[in-house]
Chain A
Amino acid sequence: MGERGKDDAMKHRKTNLEPVAEKPESQDPMARPATTSPHKEARLGREVQARIGQQLRAMYNDVVNQGVPQHLADLVRRLSDQDQD
C-alpha cells in the first residue's frame, strides 16, 4: 500500500531530493572530485540527509530487531556460568 506512489516519487527523486539541482548529467564525470569539498557538503539538502539517516537506521534496525539468536544467547550464558580465569 502506498508502494506505487512511493515508486513514482522515486523516479523524480533527483529533483525532489536535490532542489538545488547541481549539474550531475552535464558535467564531465572525471571532473567530479572523489570526495566532495566542504562547501558542496554544506549545500546538501536537509531532505537528502534526513533520507539517508532514515534508510541507514531502517537497514540497521532490521537486524537489531531480529534480537539475539539462540546460539549466541546460549554461548553468553554458558560462558557466564563458567569460572572466570
Chain B
Amino acid sequence: MKLDPAIRDQVLATVPSLRAFAISLCGNIDRADDLVQETLLRALAHIDSFEPGTNMPAWLFTILRNLFRSEYRKRRREVEDAEGRYAETLKSHPEQTGRVEFEEFRTALAKLPADQREALILVGASGFSYDDAAAICGCAVGTIKSRVNRARTRLADLLAIDSVDDFGPDRATRAVLAGGGRN
C-alpha cells in the first residue's frame, strides 16, 4: 500500500522547518541535512505510528530530536567549529536586521545550554505551543517554560554585555568568542 499523498504532502511541508530546527541543533547545514534525511527515512518507515489528524510537525520534530540526541551528540566536539560553518550557511539574512547585530545574536545563541536553546527555538521560532514543545522534548511543560525564560534572560544579558570577561570561564564560550572574531 502506498502512502496517502495527503500525508506525504504534510511531511514535505514540514521539511523546511525541520531543517531550520536541525541547523539550530547541529550548527552545521551539511550535518543538519543528514539529520533531516535520517529523520525522513525513519518517519516514513514508521508512518503507521503517525495518527492522521494529529500534529505532523510535532511528530517529525520529535523523531529528529531523538535521533540527534542518540547519535549526533556523540560527535559533540564537532559542534565547536559550528560557528564558522553556520555563518556560511546564512550569508543572506533578512534585511531588517543589521549584520553586526545578527552575528552577535547568533554568537549569543550558541552560548546557551543546549536544552535552553532548543526550547527557545521550538517556542520562539518554530511556533510550537509549550505543550507541544514539552512533548517533543519529553519533559514537563513547566520545564519548557522555565528553559525558555532562562534562555531569554541569558540572551538579553549576553546581548547587553560587550566584555569577554563578563562571560565567565567556560572554555567553549571562549572558543566561540575567539572564532567569532569579536573584539
Binding site for B on A (CB under 8 A): 3, 6-7, 10, 13-14, 17-18, 24-25, 29-30, 32, 34-36, 38, 40-41, 44-45, 48-49, 51-69, 71-73, 75-77, 79-85
Give A27 to B157 CA distance when docked, in angstroms. 13
> What's the dominant secondary structure at chain A's contact region?
helix
Return the contact of A72 from the options B33, B101, B106, B157 (Cβ within 8 A).
B33
Contacts of B100 in A (CB 8 A): 7, 10
Chain A, Cβ-Cβ closest to B48? A84
Contacts of B174 in A (CB 8 A): none
Interface residues on B, range: 35 or more
Contacts of A38 in B (CB 8 A): 149
With contacts A60-B121, A62-B94 taken as known, whether A79 is within 8 angstroms of B16 at the C-beta atoms is: no
> B residues 88-124 with Cβ under 8 Å of A?
89-90, 92-94, 96-102, 105-106, 109, 120-121, 124
Q: Is the CB of B160 within 8 A of A17?
A: yes
Contacts of A77 in B (CB 8 A): 8
Contact of B134 with A by CB under 8 A: no
Chain B, Cβ-Cβ closest to A6? B98
Contacts of B181 in A (CB 8 A): none
Chain A, Cβ-Cβ closest to B168? A29
Q: Interface digits, B6-50 against A, CB 8 Å rule (1 contact, 0 not)?
A: 001001100111011001100000000100110011001101100
Contacts of A48 in B (CB 8 A): 156, 159-160
Q: Is the CB of B101 within 8 A of A55?
A: yes
Q: Is the CB of B16 within 8 A of A68?
A: yes
Additional 7 contacts, C-beta under 8 A, given A29-B168, A58-B96, A73-B12: A54-B96, A59-B90, A59-B105, A60-B17, A60-B24, A63-B20, A63-B23
Contacts of B125 in A (CB 8 A): 56-57, 59-61
